[in-house]
Chains A and B, each alone.
Chain A
Amino acid sequence: MLSGLACGLLLACTALAQDMPTGTGSPDTAAIAAPVIAQVPPPGPATGVTATDAPNDDGEALIVSWTASPDDGAGLRNVSSYRILRAEAGRPSGAPFDTVGLATAGNTQFIDGTTNPGRDYIYVVAALAMAPTPGGAPVEVSVQSDPSQPVHSRAQWFHTGRLNSLFAVLIVGGAILYFIARARSGKSLFIRKIGGLEAVDEAVGRATEMGRKIFYVPGTQDMDEVQTLAGITILGRVAKVAAEYEADLEVPVARSLVMVTCREVVKEAFLNAGRPDAFNEEKIYYLTDDQFGYAAGIDGLVMRDKPATMFYMGAFYAESLILAETGNSIGAIQIAGTAMPAQLPFFVAACDYTLIGEELFAASAYLSKEPKLLGSLKGQDVGKGIILLTILLGILLTSIGAITLKTSELDKLGWYNIGQWFDVQ
């Protein structure tokens, strides 16, 4: 029966494909070119088309919903997709609708993210079927729904799906600010030793004694990456010690803006060390933006110059091990720091000291010993404590729920599953 249907559609659809302009259609015709395909039943239309304002957005989206065609997954089973057509309300009669998107068969919802806030729109959904042609590409046949009621999108003043994030920001931010204020008032704060940062003086001193260079690699990312900023902060300290020891510091970089910033930081560090004359901006130079080109450039420099000390501080990707293993092969003392979890094992394996994740961000406070910066570290600890307690509470409640309700499926645990409170949209 289906093959007969396809044959019947054949001629009609070829004519249809030529007549119908792509991307537009008129909602006023229930079944397009009905006289031509009268002998073949087209797919049933989608019904009950409605549009509603999308929540938590800037007013540029509407959600279009419809009831599936009776031939979508049932009946003739020939619906392949739905075309969503839109027009502004109050348009001249007969004006064409614009195509705003496609939804595959089985879907009954589409988000139109191209609306203008305040304008009224009406929508039509066309059920599409593909008719096969012998030896050629299938042709499309479509049936349109009745138009929806006019609706307009609106911008919201608060993203309700992010209320939990707001609480988290207020609690952690509040704790950090509280401890900063407390540190400013003179309260002493304990901070544990960070091996990698304690070793900075030793590493720079070693290079001085050996009369070899120090290489400082501030990652491969730009100034919009907070890890790069953290790396540059540590560079200031390294440069100051290098200036005091009269060591030879070189900073090959992968980004132009990082080069400019590093020059400023190193210049200031030399000035603070009382050796502005020793600053040479040519020692901070650009290699390339390309990830492996940068790795190759540094590897070449390392093999030729054989530096005594290497620092890797910032954001790294696959080049991390290439750099660290090359440094290791020439026997350089290596200190690394990154917040890229996938690269940490490589640095741990190849370097003498590694600042793991948060230690990289703590470096500036640790090195400067400024109370206001140390206070922020204490605030972080409060955040960690809250997260730890929440994890323990989650384990406890989930376990109780699983035992009480005799299920291990999270969806069925109801309020016992407190993990749902932490979903961020």
Chain B
Amino acid sequence: MRREIPTFIAFFVGVICIIQFFIPHWPFGTMVDTFSDWFIILQSFAIWLGVLNLMKVSLERSLSKKKTHDRWYGFVVVLSFLLIAVIGMFFSGGREFQVPGSRFDYLYVNVYTPLSSTMFAILAFFVASASYRAFRARSWEATLLLAAAFLVMLGRAPVGDMLTQWAPEGAHMSDIANWIMTYPQVAGQRAIMIGIALGVASASLRLILGLERSYLGGD
């Protein structure tokens, strides 16, 4: 029963979702909304599992006798969690904790947001290092990629058109870049998208019919 009940639930919910797409009549739409609500409720309760696990793992690390940096990181996680939770719950005006100007909002705007932005900003450097590797002309395909990327980057900058002023209308660098992005790039991306769409359809069918049950544990 440990595998049969989840398989039946997956089948039932999956079939109702498909039916609802084609039959807008009651009760199918209502049922799908209810399923979504249930998932949100489950998710909300499951957050506690995650939070308790995070606290357990971090506390174990910080109290560990091994003198590693992990001890300090674990300590920082526990302290940060308690700080934001206590200030948010007890010192930020109760339900108004998200109102601009509250202590919780102050921490959110001045600590959380800059930290997130910093991580996002690091992406710029990683794009540079990844591009450097990807654009090395090691093979015919990589050389083609390098040439296409060079033309697109040049076409996106004003200097590209300046260098090709002599060319006839429609053959300036920006036109070449637009052509690469509109035709070969879109064609490649659509091929991947079609594959993904069919893959999702096939995987969903396997899950709904119970052919694919490895996510329940085992093969």
Residues of A within 8 A of B (CB): 56-59, 117, 155-159, 162, 165-166, 169, 172-173, 176-177, 180, 222, 224, 226, 229-230, 232-233, 236, 255-257, 259-261, 264-265, 267-269, 271-272, 282, 285-293, 295-296, 300, 304, 318, 321-322, 324-325, 328, 339, 341, 344-346, 348-350, 356-362, 364, 368, 372-373, 376-377, 379-380, 383-384, 387
Contact = CB atoms under 8 A, between A and B. Distances in A.
Given A156-B25, A368-B214, A286 B126 contact: no
Given A158-B22, A296-B119, A322-B119, 18 more contacts: A157-B25, A256-B47, A268-B217, A271-B218, A292-B119, A293-B116, A293-B119, A321-B126, A321-B127, A321-B130, A341-B192, A349-B133, A360-B199, A361-B202, A364-B212, A368-B219, A380-B199, A384-B194
A322 B195 contact: no
B130 A346 contact: yes
A162 B194 contact: no
Contacts of A287: 54
Nearest to A362: B199
A358 B215 contact: no
A321 B70 CA distance: 24
B205 interface: yes
Name the interface size band of chain B: 35 or more
Contact of A233 (B54, B202, B215): B215
B164 interface: no
Nearest to A360: B199
Contact of A364 (B26, B127, B131, B214): B214
B5 interface: no
A158 B203 contact: no
A325 B127 CA distance: 9
A377 B51 CA distance: 39
B107 to A, nearest CB: 14
B63 to A, nearest CB: 14
Contacts of A358: 195-196, 198-199
A341 B219 contact: no
A172 B127 contact: no
B218 A155 contact: no
Contacts of A295: 119
B123 interface: yes
Count chain B CB atoms within 10 A of each CB in A224, A267, A289, A349 and give the residue with the most: A349
Contact of B54 (A176, A271, A286, A372): A286
10 contacts: A162-B21, A172-B201, A233-B215, A286-B57, A291-B116, A292-B116, A328-B130, A373-B212, A380-B198, A383-B201
A411 to B, nearest CB: 20
A359 B57 CA distance: 34
A425 B41 CA distance: 30
Contacts of B69: 304
A251 to B, nearest CB: 12
B1 interface: no
B9 to A, nearest CB: 12
B106 interface: no
